[in-house]
Structure 1
């Protein structure tokens, strides 16, 4: 559409008048993500790494304790609580009185957390997001459907939404009627290029509805559906893609850090790491040594651009499996979600959350919601919110769970009317109350 092209040109013209703050960063991001092993990309990353280390050591009280550090590995791994307990010590005195941006998240633990970002970091973050949107064939100005929990604190004004060509669809109560309303929106929308961005759990509910009602939508113009904030399981990826005739991709990012990795149209199954803006490590679950390709480990991120509050070796609380692509570049083969919600079988071995999701695929047409909870060493609870009155497959489901979690596992099924989301709108499918305790 002509209007979309005008929106695109307006955005980049405005950026040009400001000195190309985002465009220049975007060119650098593209180099660093596409060609991370090139000499130019390595030199740029080394420069940014050395700069953030020097800045952190010289201008913050916390990192001032590590003035002999030369490389990222010379610093300790920190966690959210480390920053919360030493908040002022992480602030750079050079930026403390600047016009910084406050970013906050309740997190999947429900614990409020915020930090500050300087303007340069914000520009870099915008460039990161634009690059990875482009990798899903989305261009600024095209229609974007955002499936979120929209409230006063995050809702865009009408003018801003119009300028961004964004449709804000609230998913607080994603009933069948709301799903029908959403599907009618995209069917009536005459724009030829649309992209979806939303919680993976909302995509799963839409996928279940489409499959349950045997609905297949063609030629809606949906180029890609990007899932964020939550784990995207195989069922949702394949089923939603099949019924909407599109590619479903997963994004890994956080409010406090930014755009870390994403699946792309060229890499639809592996997560392309944002090597340009972050130093990403996958460390052993029990120590701070790097894992080998094919192994799971903790995601530890160093932000190379936040000078207001330097964040070096930040343990995100999530785990992932490291892999190498055909060019020998590190990618993430799987992202499992929070380490504290990694589950174990009755003998203490880690079981991928992917295994849990497969247990419910055969029953999706009977379920509104489900949740799998490890309550003890060998105690597991399954919460089911049913479509109808009865579930005749209890024994079959319990046997299937025991086949992976142990014949001595004690599995209890509880029927509920609702599994409420967190305040953020996320819906946790897998919880480990045993390890948490």
Structure 2
């Protein structure tokens, strides 16, 4: 008797997805609730799990196919996974002339394959890690996890793949003559865009075509924030269990600006303007499949520690590929930190239907004038891109200036100035 595997509910207003990867092939042993496929939606990857234990049956659809909620995509057949899966046969030793075979009645356990979910100190591999394991042909049981509780991260797999590539292949006979390198070879590779990348491309292009985009710039002296961070970071981490970063300062400074200039925190819907009395900030983070923007909600009510905890959690989950649709729903304003990649200056694009985005950049020592003297200060360029249909230039400049003043004098964050 077989069991049907159907596309699960994907989230509010999401009706279709793409088969990103089959994690189990026909004939593979499958445990109940084990991930057998990865679906790519417009924002996140979602695992499809087996409704029962058994053997992976037929794939109804192929990788890259678009499927809708409730669609049949595969079957799970009854049977013993160990008997049905051909993989253990690979562990059977070849006939040996040795007169005394090793006295083991039970077959030796085979090394976990790329599709297995168990590895070293980790009991479950995230979708991003599973994908990396399959792509690079890495045995997860031989990878030392550096994540929490010994979990394997995507970086661990990539490091193992690099080490594997660097190892010279063992020589068993005289090497065949390799084709002479001409030095003029030209190659092309075509890779299908992921659903996430397609969606990002469409949204950003739509933002350019729909909104009247404009960017205003300023620079910030980071001396006061750096001094405060260096002074309190150890006590902060000891008390809250999280590092004190710059994002919490900029988030709180943004709250001051958005409360002072409500239009920067507003959105256009049809012929109406929607104003929000709360601040939900989308924090742009890098994920394996591209840039994602999970939302830190009620930033105006969160403490510095609460903001840092939320950002750290989203960053880890983005890296592991475990963000959900709910994590990225909404948002009234966005902060994008290109400085972590070394960017000096940029013109960020707004995240529709939001009306503004703050761009942060790298900190570098530059000569500035203070009290008539040229001094060296740690400076950062900041940029505010905004929808000119809703936000006037005066409002945008004022909002960015408010952020600048709050960062240069963090006391303003405490007394709401």
Where on the TM-score scale, by shorter chain, does this alignment land: which range? under 0.3
Instruction: Please report the TM-score for the alignment, with normalisation by the length of structure 1.
Output: 0.23
Rg larger for:
2
Instruction: Please report the TM-score for the alignment, with normalisation by the length of structure 2.
Output: 0.24
